[in-house]
């Protein structure tokens, strides 16, 4: 299912955005992981997450596998 997200912030960048935070129209936050580079737009695996999950991930308290 395709969902359209608004970019919020980059968490990891290597040649392109690898992991970022996206927000939908209901202000639900998603952590998005690059899975395929494709033209005209890349494909990301996204999962909803709480603001506390994002904070813990950025600080290194939890890893991406725990969120996904």
Provide the residue ranges of all domains of the chain, joining segments of one domain with +.
6-67
pLDDT of residue 48: 92
Ranges of beta strands (E only) in the chain are 6-14, 16-23, 29-36, 43-48
Please write the tens of the pLDDT for every residue from 9-56.
998 888 888 999 999 999 999 999 999 998 888 888 999 998 898 889
Taking the model in full, what pTM does it have?
A: 0.80
The residues with which 17 forms a beta bridge, in sequence order, are 13
15 Cβ contact partners less than 8 Å away, ≥ 6 residues apart: none
Asked if residue 14 lies in contact with residue 6, where contact means CB atoms within 8 angstroms, the answer is no
* pLDDT band at 64; cut points 50, 70, 90: confident
Cross-strand bridge partners of residue 29? 23
């Amino acid at each position: 299912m395709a969902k359209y997200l608004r970019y919020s912030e980059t968490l990891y960048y290597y040649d392109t955005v690898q992991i970022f935070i996206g927000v939908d129209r209901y202000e639900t936050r998603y952590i998005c992981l690059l899975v395929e580079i494709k033209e005209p737009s890349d494909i990301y695996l996204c999962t909803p997450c709480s603001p506390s999950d994002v904070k813990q991930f950025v600080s290194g308290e939890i890893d991406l596998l725990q969120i996904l």
